[in-house]
Amino acid sequence: MSQNLEKPVLNALSKDYDKERKLNALERIYLPEIFKGMWYTFKQMFQPKATMMYPEERWDPPAIFRGRPVLVKDNGRERCVACGLCARACPPLAISMQANEDAQDEKERFPDFFEINMLRCIYCGLCEEVCPEEAIVMSKDYDITFKTREDAVYGKDRLLIPKEDLTERLDYLRENKNKQFGKFWDFQEENNIHSVRNRDKRWETSLSLVEMLEAKREQEKTAN
Ligand code: SF4
Ligand code: SF4
C-alpha cells in the first residue's frame, strides 16, 4: 500500500488525536506526580546499597570473574613455554612474545619477553582457554590505569604472579574448564617442568630441538 505523505499518520501532536486522555485539574498542576516521585526516592534510601565507596571499598570478585590476564609463576619461574598459542588465539592481537631455549634447563623453553598490550585486551579469556600449561589465567584485577600508551604494555615484570595468589582461579579452571575435555586433558602440574628429550625416548639424544635440526641439516648436506 502506498503511503499518503500529504496526510501523515496520527500522532500525539496532531490536532486530530482524539484518543488522548484528558487530564483533570490536579493532574494538570503535576504536584501529585512530583510527590509520588519523591516518595519513591525516599523509599529507596532504606533499601540495601548496591554501590560501593570505591576505591576505599573494593569488590572481591568471584573466581568466575575475568580480570586482566596474568602469567602464572610456579616455584619462582614462569610456567609459560612460549608455544605462542595464546598469541594466535588472541582476537585483538594483544599478546607478543619471543621464545628462547636453554638446553641445560629441564624446562628447555621459556619466553625471552612476553607482553600484553592492555589497551587492546578485551578480557575474552581465549588465551587462558588455549594455554596447554595453565600458564596464563584471568586474574581478579580490574583496577587498571595507565598514563601513557607505553605504560599499557605489560611485560613479565607486571604479568608474573605467584600461583599461590591465583589458587581460586586455578581451582575454578580445574573444576570447570577441564570438564569438557575429560580426565585425559587434566593439567598435571609436574608436566610443566619436563624435557622433550626425557619424554621421547626414541630420540635418545642430549641435543636440544634446535641442535637436532642443525645436526639433521648437516647430515643431509654430507649425504648430498
Ligand atoms: S583476554 Fe582475550 S584479548 Fe586479552 S590477551 Fe587474552 S586472548 Fe587476548
Ligand atoms: S602462556 Fe600458554 S599458550 Fe601462551 S605461549 Fe605460554 S604456554 Fe603457550
| Residue 144 Cβ contacting ligand 1 at under 6 Å | no
The DSSP string of 93-137 is: --EEEEEEE-TTSSS-EEEEEEEEETTT-----HHHHH-TTS-EE
Q: Which three cell numbers stand for residue 190?
A: 609436574
Instruction: Tell me which residue has its CA closest to atom 8 in ligand 1.
Output: 90
Give residues with Cβ within 8 angstroms of 57, minimum separation 6.
none
Distance in Å, CA 68 to ligand 2 centroid: 15
pLDDT classification of 201: cutoffs 50, 70, 90: very low
pLDDT at 50: 84
What atom in ligand 1 is closest to the CA of residue 92? 3
Which residue, among 119, 121, 123, 122, has the nearest Cα to 151 in the 3D structure?
119
- Which ranges of the chain does DSSP label H, i.e. alpha helix? 25-28, 31-44, 85-89, 126-130, 156-159, 167-176, 189-192, 196-199, 209-223
What is the dotted CATH code of the domain comprising 71-181?
Answer: 3.30.70.3270
From the CA of 116, the nearest ligand is: 1
116 touches 159 (CB < 8 A) = yes
pLDDT by residue (tens digit) across 25-72? 888 899 999 999 999 999 999 999 888 999 999 999 999 999 999 999
- Count of C-beta atoms within a 10 Å radius of residue 176: 11
pLDDT at 43: 95
pLDDT by residue (tens digit) across 136-170? 999 999 999 999 999 999 999 999 999 999 999 99
Instruction: Check pLDDT > 50 for residue 203.
Output: no
Q: Could you tell me the end-to-end alpha-carbon distance of the chain, in angstroms, rounded to an integer?
A: 82
Mutate to test the pocket of ligand 1, among 90, 120, 128 (most ligand atoms within 8 A of CB): 90
pTM of whole model > 0.75?
no
pLDDT by residue (tens digit) across 178-193? 666 655 556 666 656 6
pLDDT at 5: 58
pLDDT by residue (tens digit) across 84-127? 999 999 999 999 999 998 877 777 889 999 999 999 999 999 99
pLDDT by residue (tens digit) across 7-27? 555 555 666 666 677 888 888
User: What average pLDDT does the structure give for the chain?
Assistant: 83
pLDDT at 124: 96
Instruction: Tell me which residue has its CA closest to atom 4 in ligand 1.
Output: 121
